[in-house]
């Protein structure tokens, strides 16, 4: 249809196709503006399903056409030809929130609150006009390139003056539907607030509160309270638990009375949740590193602008000293882990890593580019003490020593949480391209956190289904795909025997980015926060970039190799004057940061500051094998991050 006209509108391309019709990019020549046109085929008289689809389409035009608001996709026109009906809408230069979440990206807390408040602003206006959306979900929340929120798709909206939707009709998307929608009861504005609460939950934790088949989701929505966001993600402050709980209350009368009340509760929770970290950031300076000479340029100015090479190692004129902060990893609730016997690397690691095709020369130092936080692990409710989860950089509850634990069903048999742990650990251990920790609390459910790439997520789901088919799984796994997957998988396979396994005694080793944000714009600082494990350890931190290069961050010119005390909290990436030593840069993409704690230095001599992964991984395999042979304690963790251009 490209090049043709639809009414007065010139069709310029296809934006998308769906089961009901096509969305076109078009041009309005009279007003000289770009528009989007959604089309649906006119229904044949005998086709009841098609007629219902057309009725919804007309309802969308009627509902959205009366809503002119900055946070709602505007509808300008409606028309019909002999074969189709069409809606002319505002063209949104951006993408659905779902696309961002599907890439595994996460938003900093402030962005999450802003997105929800803009969503609620649009809903407040819609509700004031007597329109209930009834299908609020990430796929219907558009994000413009500037980051603004636009609510789209009012196809199943309920209009107060309309009798087109009756009680007893179940419409919506199961994972975001309210209890009254599942029961076919009348809906009102509080249904949209429930769905907005589900979106908030997903933004805070990276996971939807309820997963499974439609019947399984319906049962959980009607009868089960999901884990609190702070139990799933260390970056979700506890004040948000009450906000999500009220928004997702089973009974509509227990929810917020309006979108405005929901937005005000968000504001208060954000104020409360961000007040404490400022004080916790105050730490003791425990060491100052030696001066760092400027690195030799990896490319000339003609081929690569000096301020845009992937991981910009920026220094002040003269000397830049690295500050190692003793306090400040505020987003981890830490305490020393119980004493454990030193754990050594498994024999499986002794085999060298199969070399990949060798690059002709080492790649230049890389920047930060990878998606979503690697640490969306589950943590216990505030009452029990917690320790940091070693292999995922996230907090996990200390085992509860109290009353006998309830029993859970595993593979059709009644089993204790300990038996569930053993079964799941055995099922997860052989899956390649993973670095996963977790635990089974007293309720017998399963909490997972870590990284998985390639085809590992599907294998994980199958392994869990085989090992514990009836258990609820709190999924805190960050996944990755793309060109760098083979390199990242090789690295994770090396690290897995060194890291705390699923169900293993947690040693407190944790890694995160300052502020908890793993989506960085060009020029944003890359500052690492670590908590050392429960044994005196030397620290090795490597930056794996998607082009196959590895930059060694620690030890390095600004941070000479030395041992850290058990449980010590460390900041890497800031000079003594507070400036960032490392910043995100081009090319943008997904990168991985790996941290290894060892009883003695991993390498007898310093490696080049930057080298290829193909050169580094075999050397890493050899040194980890040597640590195993010497029965030296080790621990490892990793995270992914994303870099992108500034908006």
Half-sphere exposure of 447 (CA within 13 A, CB side): 29
As a whole number of angstroms, the distance between CA 545 and CA 552 comes to 11
Write the CB contacts of 498 (distance below 8 Å, at least 6 apart in sequence).
345, 349, 596, 624, 627, 634, 635, 636
Q: Give the Cβ contact number of residue 575 at 10 Å.
A: 20
Alpha-carbon distances of 525 from 294, 367, 432, 459, 517, rounded to whole Å: 18, 10, 32, 36, 11
Please answer whether residues 612 and 550 qualify as being in contact, where contact means their C-beta atoms are separated by less than 8 angstroms: yes
Q: 28, 77, 93, 135: which one is catalytic?
A: 135
Q: Which 3 state secondary structure label does DSSP give 515? A: helix
DSSP annotation string for 85-128? EEEEEE--SEEEHHHHHHTT----HHHHHHHHHHHHHHHHHHHH
Alpha-carbon distances of 17 from 20, 21, 22, 37, 564, rounded to whole Å: 8, 6, 4, 12, 56
DSSP H or E run through 618: helix 613-629
Q: Which 3 state secondary structure label does DSSP give 220? A: helix
Looking at residue 365, the DSSP 8-state letter turns out to be: P
The closest of 106, 122, 253 to 178, measured between CA atoms, is 253
Dihedral of CA 609/610/611/617: which sign?
Answer: positive
135 flagged as catalytic: yes
DSSP annotation string for 422-465? HHHHHHHTT-SSEEEEEE--TTS-EEEEEEEETTHHHHHHHHHH
Looking at residue 221, the DSSP 8-state letter turns out to be: H
The closest of 218, 508, 170 to 337, measured between CA atoms, is 508
As a whole number of angstroms, the distance between CA 147 and CA 94 comes to 8
Q: Give the Cβ contact number of residue 176 at 10 Å.
A: 26
Please answer whether residues 538 and 599 qualify as being in contact, where contact means their C-beta atoms are separated by less than 8 angstroms: yes
As a whole number of angstroms, the distance between CA 156 and CA 60 comes to 7
| Active-site amino acid positions | 135
């Amino acid at each position: 249809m490209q090049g043709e006209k639809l009414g007065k509108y010139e069709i310029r391309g296809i934006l998308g196709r769906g089961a009901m019709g096509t969305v076109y990019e078009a041009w309005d020549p009279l007003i000289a503006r770009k528009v989007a046109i959604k089309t649906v085929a006119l229904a044949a008289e005998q086709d009841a399903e098609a007629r219902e689809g057309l009725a919804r389409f007309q309802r969308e035009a009627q509902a959205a056409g009366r809503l002119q608001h900055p946070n709602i996709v505007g509808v300008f026109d409606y028309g019909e030809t002999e074969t189709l009906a069409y809606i002319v809408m505002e063209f949104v230069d951006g993408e659905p929130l779902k696309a961002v979440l599907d890439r595994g990206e996460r938003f900093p807390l402030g962005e999450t609150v802003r997105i929800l408040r803009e969503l609620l602003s649009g809903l407040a206006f819609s509700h004031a006009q007597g329109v209930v959306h009834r299908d609020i979900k990430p796929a219907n929340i558009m994000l413009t390139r500037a980051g603004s929120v636009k609510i789209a798709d009012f196809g199943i909206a309920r209009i107060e003056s309309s009798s087109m939707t009756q009680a007893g009709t179940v419409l919506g998307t199961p994972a975001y539907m309210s209890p009254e929608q599942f029961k076919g009861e009348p809906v009102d504005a509080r249904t949209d607030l429930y769905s907005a609460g589900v979106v908030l939950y997903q933004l805070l934790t990276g996971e939807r509160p309820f997963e499974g088949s439609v019947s399984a989701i319906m049962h959980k929505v009607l009868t089960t309270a999901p884990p609190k966001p702070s139990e799933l993600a260390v970056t979700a402050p506890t004040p948000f638990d009450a906000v999500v709980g009220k928004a997702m209350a089973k009974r509509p009368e227990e929810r917020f009375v309006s979108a405005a009340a929901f937005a005000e509760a968000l504001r208060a929770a954000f104020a409360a949740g961000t007040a404490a970290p400022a004080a916790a950031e105050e730490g003791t300076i425990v060491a100052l590193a030696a001066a760092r000479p400027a690195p030799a340029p990896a490319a000339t100015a003609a081929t690569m602008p000096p301020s845009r090479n992937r991981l910009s190692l920026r220094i002040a004129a003269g000397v830049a000293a690295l500050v190692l902060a003793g306090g400040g990893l505020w987003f981890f609730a830490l305490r020393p882990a119980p004493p454990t016997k030193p754990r050594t690397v498994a024999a499986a690691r002794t085999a060298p890593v199969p070399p990949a095709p060798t690059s002709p020369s080492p790649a230049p130092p890389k920047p930060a580019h990878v998606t979503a936080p690697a640490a969306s692990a589950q943590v216990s409710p505030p009452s029990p003490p917690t320790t940091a989860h070693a292999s995922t950089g996230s907090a996990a509850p200390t085992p509860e020593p109290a009353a006998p634990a309830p029993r859970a069903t595993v593979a059709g048999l009644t089993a204790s949480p300990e038996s569930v742990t053993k079964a799941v650990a055995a099922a997860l251990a052989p899956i390649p391209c993973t670095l996963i920790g977790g635990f089974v609390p007293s309720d017998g459910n399963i909490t997972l956190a870590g990284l998985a790439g390639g085809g590992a997520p599907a294998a994980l789901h199958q392994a869990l289904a085989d090992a514990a088919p009836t258990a609820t799984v709190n999924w805190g796994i960050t996944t990755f795909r793309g060109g760098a997957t083979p390199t990242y998988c090789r690295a994770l396979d090396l690290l897995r025997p060194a890291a705390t396994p699923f169900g293993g005694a947690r040693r407190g080793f944790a890694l995160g980015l300052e502020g908890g944000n793993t989506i960085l714009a060009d020029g944003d600082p890359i500052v690492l926060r670590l908590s050392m494990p429960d044994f005196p350890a030397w620290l090795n931190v490597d930056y794996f970039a998607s082009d196959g290069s590895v930059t060694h961050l620690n030890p390095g010119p600004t941070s000479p190799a030395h041992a850290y005390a058990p449980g010590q909290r460390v900041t890497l990436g800031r000079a003594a004057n507070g400036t960032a030593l490392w910043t995100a840069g081009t090319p943008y993409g997904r990168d991985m940061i790996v941290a290894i704690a060892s009883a003695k230095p991993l390498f007898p001599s310093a490696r080049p500051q930057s080298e290829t992964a193909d050169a580094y991984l075999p050397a890493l395999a050899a040194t980890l094998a040597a640590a195993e042979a010497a029965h030296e304690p080790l621990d490892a963790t990793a995270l992914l991050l994303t870099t992108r251009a500034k908006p």
